[in-house]
Amino acid sequence: MTIVQFIFNLMDALSYFIRTALPAYLKSLPIPENSAGYAKLTARDYLQLVPFVTTVLLLIYLTFQALLPEDEDDQIKKIEKEPQVNQSLSKDKDKVVHVYDIKDIQPECDKAQNKSVSYCRCWKSKKFPLCDGTHNQHNKDTGDNVGPLVVTNKKE
């Protein structure tokens, strides 16, 4: 059997279900004409209604779940699952901040062959806070585009 034949057979079965089986099933359900009729239903009648009522309630629940906005707890759980940028540096601190006076950076720039110093912004450098080029592999692996902060000394 080819895929095309399989799809046609599946569509025929679905068509039969929607046009014939489902209407016949719904007509066979013991649904009373008014609310007083529910008191006259037998236990067997109620058992016949269980699959139908369960299916309807499940469809309503799934519809509301899809349409309602996420609550705050779900958003927090999503954030917790996302990986952190800083995986290892100074994790004991609330915020990692490195402050450099321009006078402190000047000797680094003078020592560099090309008169510039690159500072890491991907948090993955083994020479942190200096950049060691680790972001190149990180970018290939993740599709990210992070790069270093480059400080140059353009005095001539």
Just list the catalytic residues: 95
Q: Please provide residue 118's backbone torsions phi and psi, each rounded to the nearest 5 degrees.
A: -105, 130
Max Cα–Cα distance, the chain, nearest Å: 100
The tokens describing 84, both together, are: 């952190």
Q: Is 96 left (phi over 0), alpha (psi -120 to 50) or beta?
A: beta
Q: Please provide residue 152's backbone torsions phi and psi, each rounded to the nearest 5 degrees.
A: -120, 160
Residue type, 80: E
- DSSP category for residue 12: H
By CB atoms closer than 10 A (0-12, 13-18, 19+), residue 148 is buried
